[in-house]
Each structure stands twice: as structure tokens, then as C-alpha cells.
Chain A
């Protein structure tokens, strides 16, 4: 394998290692009642502890009723982003391919610019 491939593998391994360590080390002293609570909600409870008189003056219009629904909506966000990211990289890849081999490109010339 080329050096480039090894670098890619090493970078992915480093990512896995970081989250492996985070998970094990974090798991040792995480709050047993809410394991791996989001920092955003920890900040909110910190405010409520130090300023018990503070009343939030505005409520979200729509609140996912359960954790399951919420995680589904977060997955939807990731899916939308992933689709667009894949489309963009695929589009660029196709552009390079048609540049490299003009003989095998579509007879109508280079691939049309995707509508945005």
C-alpha cells in the first residue's frame, strides 16, 4: 500500500482511539443518573443552580417530546448534511473524470453544472 493509504489508516485509527479513550475515561466518572449528559444542558443546569431566581423568558415553539424523537431529528440533520456532502464530492469527482478522459466523456460535452 502507498504511503498515502497508510496515512489515511493512521488518521482514522487516531480518531477511533480518541473516542475509545474518551468513552472509557469519561465512563469512569460520568454522572450515574445521566451518563454523558450534553454540555449544553449541563450549562443550563449550572445557570439554574447559581441563579435559582432566573426564569427563562421564552420557550421553544416546538420541543421533541421524547429522547427517541429527538435523536431521530438529529439523525435527520446528519443525513441531510451527509447527502449534500456526498453529492458535492461525487460531483467534483465526476468533473475530474470527465476532464481527464475527454474521449469517454458524455457526447454532449462536460457534465452539466448541477442546479443549486
Chain B
């Protein structure tokens, strides 16, 4: 999902910066607010950011013979709502753009939009949908992480399609072409990310139960009075 440095026309770079900036500013405010008002959730906040940091650094093989990397943004979106992830993803993407020449500063706005805004929101909607349907929370976590991952790559395909419409088949053909590069490769990775997310979430429900109850992720168990 990292659009390489210089690989979007200037107008597109500026436009994606303009779209993403307010989300990132709001996310930064939310992170500061959360850390100030609820110091007890700082460790969870760090865990959510670190999870994205680790997952986006790992390139994994896929059935298509390409390799790609997960995004890890769904977990933080479920725990702290999506705005926080816009800010945390931006930190990850700046690190990768400057130190690894992966992604870029000119394409940062577009990459933040796909990984830090679209992905987390889609994942969060799946989490909400799942809990509304009364499904087990682990199912919700699986869906949130898998779809945050997959939708990030769908958005990247659209972004590249918009920038480089195919001379013959136009915009739709171009989007389909980039989806061919990204999406099928990403499906097994998204499933794996969902499973890994469930593993981490089960660990968190063991060690961070009161924090998760305060965030409304776990319903507090009402202890029955001893007769």
C-alpha cells in the first residue's frame, strides 16, 4: 500500500494531503487527550501503536507469488476508535518514508489516507456490525483486522487508478489492474492478520481487563452476590 516517492502527480499529492491532514490533527488531539485523561490506558495505546509498527515492517509471501505486508491498524481502531490510528499510522509511514525509502514524503498524504484513515474506519465498522449482530467479540476482532488490512489495499488501488487511468480501458480498467496487483495477494495476509489480532486480543483480555472494560470493549462481569 506504500505508493512510492514521486509516483503520484503533484495535484494528487496535494489533494491527498489536504484530505488527510484534518484526520491526523484530530487523531493527534485524541491521543494526547486519552493519555492525559486516562493515564491508565497509556500502555494500551502504546501497544496499539507498536502492533502497527511491527506488522507493517513484515513482508510476507502470498499465494500469488508476490509478497506484501499487513497493516495492523484494526486493533487500535477497535480499542481507541479510528481517529487515533490516523496519527499513529502517520508516525509509522514517516519512519518508513525517511529511513527505508518505502513510501514517500510526497505520497504521504495518500498513504496516510489508505492506511491510517480508510482502513481503520472500515475495520471499526465491521467491529460495530459484528457486535450489533451479537457475534462473539473474537469474531468482531477478526473481521476488524482483516478488513482494515484489505480495504487499505483497495483504497491504494483506487488512488493509483485515479492517478494513472488506462489509455484504453480508462479509470475502471486501471483500478482493476491495480487491484489485480494488490488485492488477491492481500487476502491470505488479511486472514492471517485477523487471526493474529484474535491472539493478541485474547492476551489483552487477560492482562488488561479493567482497561478494556473502561473503554467499553468488554462488558463488565457483574459478580453475583455470595448467598
Q: Give A residues with C-beta under 8 Å from B.
A: 4, 7-8, 11-12, 14-15, 18-19, 21-23, 25-31, 35-44, 46-47, 50-51, 54, 56-64, 70, 73-78, 80-85, 87-89, 91-93, 95-96, 113-114, 116
Contacts and interface: CB of A to CB of B under 8 A. Distances in A.
A21 B64 CA distance: 11
B104 A58 contact: yes
B185 interface: yes
Q: Which of A61, A92, A113 has the most CB of B within 10 A?
A: A92
B141 to A, nearest CB: 12
B215 interface: no
Q: Which of A58, A59, A114 has the most CB of B within 10 A?
A: A58
B125 interface: no
**B interface: dominant SS:** helix
Contacts, number: 199
**A interface: dominant SS:** helix
B6 A56 contact: yes
Given A21-B63, A46-B178, A81-B57, A60 B104 contact: yes
B46 A88 contact: yes
A32 to B, nearest CB: 10
B207 A92 contact: yes
